[in-house]
Amino acid sequence: MINKVVSSVEEAVAGVVDGATVMVGGFGRAGQPLELIDALIAQGATDLTIISNNAGNGDVGLAALLAARRVRKIVCSFPRQPDSWVFDGLYREGAIELELVPQGNLAERIRAAGTGIGAFFSPTGVGTQLAEGKETREIDGRVYSLEYPIRADFALISAWKADRWGNLVYRKTARNFGPIMAAAATTTVVQVDEIVSLGSIDPENVATPSIFVQRVAVVGEREWLKDDVFVGGVDLEGRPLEASAGTDSAGGSR
């Protein structure tokens, strides 16, 4: 019997060695696998290269991993945000290396890794400093630059539900990097709200097929859902509204 469900988040992140390359899903906080990142901090791996769209928000999740000085290099599209003080400090201090990649090239490079593409020509960034030094080619009158795949030893992502084979269903815009990162890593670790029985996910609705998933950890239902139904009552960070009274719950930053 196939069972990719592990008993804890600690077990889920076992085997991440020092110097590993780790993809971390999420766009801002949506889809960020907070519990897996906390487990990775506790696990202790250091000198990591992180692939993620952002470089952490506030003091939790990826920001906490950075603050613990476990990250040597980050590959991302949008590190600077109003709440990215942890990254900003490390960057100014020269304590972290940054490879800045336009978001679409980041996504396509991750996808290329997962789909066996050796490299591809992209029009994005051509003529800008982010494509400096890259091989270019004119194809049908348009100039493209050569982009290489980004692969990883581990991908840590967050989904809504999984079955024991590792078929995944995401929720709304929290899907973001999940499906492509799942395919691009040697070991893909997923945290989900809930494990559902094999066969209860409609095959039409599987967004990441089980072949891309190695481990699944259950972290419990998100604060803003009850028995699969959206109940709200939280701010953008998922904190109950009473706890965040006085802050602008609908406001945000890139």
Task: Give residues in contact with other proteins (CB under 8 A).
Answer: 27-31, 53, 77-81, 84, 87-88, 91-92, 98, 100-108, 110-111, 122-130, 170-180, 207, 222, 224, 230, 232-238, 241, 249-254
Please report the DSSP string for 171-232 in residue order: -GGG-TTHHHHHHHEEEEEEEESEE--TT-S-GGG-SB-GGG--EEEE----TTEETTEE--
42/211 with CB nearer other proteins: 211
2/241 with CB nearer other proteins: 241
Least gap, CB of 89 to other proteins (angstroms): 10
23/48 with CB nearer other proteins: 23
40/178 with CB nearer other proteins: 178
CA distance 2 to 4: 7
CA distance 213 to 191: 11
Least gap, CB of 197 to other proteins (angstroms): 23
CA distance 112 to 114: 5
3-state SS class at 21: strand
Vertex 210 angle, CA 208 and 216, to 5°: 95
104 C-beta neighbours (distance < 10 Å), count: 14
Least gap, CB of 180 to other proteins (angstroms): 5
Least gap, CB of 146 to other proteins (angstroms): 15
Least gap, CB of 216 to other proteins (angstroms): 19
18/59 with CB nearer other proteins: 59
45/67 with CB nearer other proteins: 67
Query: Cβ distance 180 to 211 under 8 Å?
Result: no
Least gap, CB of 66 to other proteins (angstroms): 13
CA distance 50 to 54: 10
CA distance 157 to 243: 27
DSSP class of residue 244?
A: G
Tokens 């469900």 sit on residue: 5
